[in-house]
């Protein structure tokens, strides 16, 4: 065969493969785009609490400040932390400390008043109240603070059974 014939044959074969290759490239591109969206979201989300993290707060905060400036409506920004958390964490351990942070995050996320909660870092949290002054946000903040304070958290001993039936036996309940 001549070089020209081999070239023509190879060109035809490549032409036949092209639609399949284009479909595969398009599918892979869509997969990568979806992965990038998930990665971007993960980079703004606190893995422990599920709240947006500091990066998410800064991005959202900048947008909300600009929105507030344009609209002339108020924006209340609140910073909060868990009092005496370091000592609590040192005494009871990081696993229990993590449970406390999850509890606080859940209560902040339920604050009401249009608030959006963020984990700023460690035991520090932020909240944004769109279209609210501090005076308007205070009742929601006080309600949330009181809900955290009232929550009865029990720290279980390491010897306590991990499963319901064992825990019931250790308390003398019937199984």
Q: Which residues are catalytically annotated?
A: 123
Neighbours of 72 (CB within 10 A): 6
* Residue 151 burial (CB count, 10 A): 12
Q: Alpha helix locations (H) across the chain?
A: 3-43, 54-71, 85-92, 94-109, 134-150, 164-171
Pick from 98, 86, 94: which is nearest to 48 by CA? 98
Distance CA 134, CA 109 (A): 18
Those residues whose C-beta lies under 8 Å from the C-beta of residue 78, and which sit 6 or more positions away, are: 126, 127, 128, 129, 137, 141
DSSP structural state of residue 132: -
């Amino acid at each position: 065969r001549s070089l020209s014939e081999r070239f023509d044959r190879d060109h035809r074969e490549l032409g036949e493969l092209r639609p399949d290759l284009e479909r595969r490239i398009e599918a892979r591109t869509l997969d990568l785009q979806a992965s990038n969206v998930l990665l971007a979201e993960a980079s703004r989300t606190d893995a422990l609490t599920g709240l947006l993290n500091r990066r998410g707060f800064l991005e959202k905060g900048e947008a909300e400040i600009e929105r507030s400036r344009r609209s002339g409506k108020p924006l209340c920004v609140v910073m909060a932390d868990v009092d005496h958390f370091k000592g609590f964490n040192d005494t009871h351990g990081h696993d229990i400390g993590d449970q406390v942070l999850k509890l606080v995050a859940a209560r902040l996320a339920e604050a009401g008043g249009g608030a959006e909660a963020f984990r700023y870092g460690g035991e520090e949290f932020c909240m944004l109240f769109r279209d609210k002054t501090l005076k308007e946000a205070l009742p929601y903040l006080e309600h949330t603070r009181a809900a955290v304070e009232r929550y009865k958290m029990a720290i279980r001993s390491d010897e306590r059974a991990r499963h319901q039936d064992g825990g019931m036996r250790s308390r003398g309940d019937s199984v």
